[in-house]
Amino acid sequence: MHQFGVRSLLFVLPLFLTACAALSAGPKVHLSTQRETPYYLSTEADQVQDTCPGHDILKPFNCTPAQPDGLSCFDVYMVQGSPAPQQRYTLLQQTLQPTAQSPQPPCPDRVADCPGLLQALQYNLEFSWYVVNFPSSSFAACGETYDCKRVDCFIPPAEEQGPSTRLSCVYKKNQLFFVGAEVTCRTALR
C-alpha cells in the first residue's frame, strides 16, 4: 500500500508542477492581423505598391512577433479571378487589312480600332459573333496560363464599290489582378 502511494505521488507531482507553472506564466500574448476590406487595384504589377514589411505583392501580409504593436501599412496581394471590365483584356495584335469580302459581320458604328471594338462589346468577348477560332499557339502570351480571343469585324468601304477593311484583334484575357487593404498589427490575448 505504501509503495502504491509513492507511485501515485510520483505520477501526480509532475502534473501538479506543470499546472502551477502554466498558471504563474499568465496569459499568452500574440499579434493579430486586422485587415480592412480589400479593394481592386490593377492587373499591372508596376501600378501597385505594398508598404508592409517585405513588400510582397504576391501574398497577403500577416503580422508576426517581429512587428511592433500598432504597425499600420498598405498590403497589396495578387488574386485570381475576373478583373475590372476595362482591364479584363490586353491587346496583343491589331491588324487592318483591305479585303474584297463583303463586310460581314460589320463593325459597330464608328468603330475603327480594337479598343473601340472592345468598348462597343462592353468588354465581354466570351459570347460574341465577332469571335473567330485561331491557333493561340502563335502567341507566346497565350500559353496555358492565359485565355486568348481573336475578334474580327468588317468596316464597310467609304465608296460603294471600294474594298471593305477587316479589323482583326487578338486579346489576352487577364485572370490575375491585385487588391489592396490597410493592415494593422494589434496585441491580442490568447
Q: If we measure between CA atoms, which residue out of 46, 1, 15, 19 comes closest to residue 178?
A: 46
For 39-89, write each residue's pLDDT tens digit. 999 999 999 999 999 999 999 999 998 889 999 999 999 999 889 899 999
Residue 1 — very low, low, confident or very high, per pLDDT cuts 50/70/90? very low
Beta bridge partners of 103: none
> Is 148 in contact with 168 (CB distance < 8 Å)?
no
Pairwise CA distance, residues 80 & 59, whole Å: 12
> Is 178 in contact with 39 (CB distance < 8 Å)?
no
Pairwise CA distance, residues 131 & 121, whole Å: 11
Whether pTM > 0.75 for this model: the answer is no
